[in-house]
Chain A
Amino acid sequence: MLDGFFDRYGALDLCLEVSGPGKVMFGTDLPMGADVDALYAVVDRLPADQVAAIKAGNAREVFAL
């Protein structure tokens, strides 16, 4: 798990290409000035199974929630 910052499509696409959707998790960096709606927009254009994994499924697995 690595921190990064991106709210651009290309950055997430590269991350998915390199790591795969099973290794990407959603993070906002709040209370820094994150545009959370923009982050959602970047993720929500992906296939539904990838959206579910990135937004919560992968984190549930990694953190045993």
Chain B
Amino acid sequence: MPPVVFSALHDGGEGTLPSVIDIHTHAFGRPWLDLLLEHGAPNYGTKRLPDGKEYLIEKGVPASALQPEAFDYDVKIRQMDRHGIDLAIVSLTSPNVFWGVEEISAEAARRVNDDQAGGQTAHPDRIRWLASLPWEYPARAVAELERARANGAVGVMVTATIGGRHLIDLLFAPVWEAIDRHGLPVFVHPAAPFGAKDAEFGRECILMPGVGFMFDTTLCIA
């Protein structure tokens, strides 16, 4: 893939490299959300909170605001322009594609990866994306990785644990081997950690990002 050459710079000239790249920014796509709502209960759903925004609810705790820019790349580009962001490397969020049976997980990955590839096609100088993979089903995950690479994925996003398994679980070895063969970077994103329900992170909104997420990624790397 040729280097990204930005054509609407904020502090440069036409044809220069992007000066601000946002590597942690989310895009969900309606097809993925529809599948989650259809098959994600009882752990996952949506709820409108007192701030007026609709949130993805993960194990009883608000996880992500379902804002229009997460579903519409034209809206996202306008938001990026407001914040001086030249290039966004978008990824899904938790629970990623880690729910349901094999067919559901694989379909969820296909849906979100297709959505994000479409974002890049529509805005080739503003959007790149990280593939989501059905890790719990390694053969499907490797096949989806190959498909995603062919469609432009520049890396992989994964949550710090998958279905109660650490990322070093031997089940995932074939997926890591495939990622290594391509030399792709992996974005480890936090989710509700082990013990989240017992810890009652939902009591205060700051507890999940401030404590739960830090614990989740710290344990993953440790």
The interface of chain A, by Cβ under 8 A from chain B, is 1-5, 25-33, 36-37, 40, 52, 55-56, 59-60, 62-65
Contact = CB atoms under 8 A, between A and B. Distances in A.
B83 A36 contact: yes
Contact of B190 (A3, A25, A28, A36): A3
Contacts of B20: 26, 55-56
Interface of B: 1, 3-4, 17-26, 64-65, 67, 69-70, 79, 83-87, 89, 128, 154-155, 185-190, 209-210, 213-214, 217, 221
A35 to B, nearest CB: 10
B185 A56 contact: no
Nearest to A36: B83
Nearest to B2: A65
Given A25-B21, A33-B65, A55-B19, A4 B217 contact: yes
Nearest to A3: B189
Closest 10 pairs between A and B when the two form their complex, measured CB to CB:
A27-B24, A31-B67, A59-B21, A36-B83, A63-B154, A56-B21, A65-B4, A30-B25, A25-B23, A27-B23
B67 A60 contact: no
Interface of A is mostly: loop
Residue with the greatest number of chain A CB neighbours at <10 A, chosen from B18, B20, B155, B210: B20
Nearest to A59: B21
Contact of A60 (B21, B70, B79): B21
Contacts of B4: 60, 65
B188 A3 contact: yes
Residue with the greatest number of chain B CB neighbours at <10 A, chosen from A5, A29, A31, A40: A31
A25 B217 CA distance: 16
Contacts of B19: 52, 55-56
B214 A4 contact: yes
A27 B25 contact: yes
Contact of B24 (A3, A33, A37, A52): A3
B22 A28 contact: yes
Contacts of A1: 23, 185-188
Contacts of B18: 56, 60, 65
A3 B83 CA distance: 20
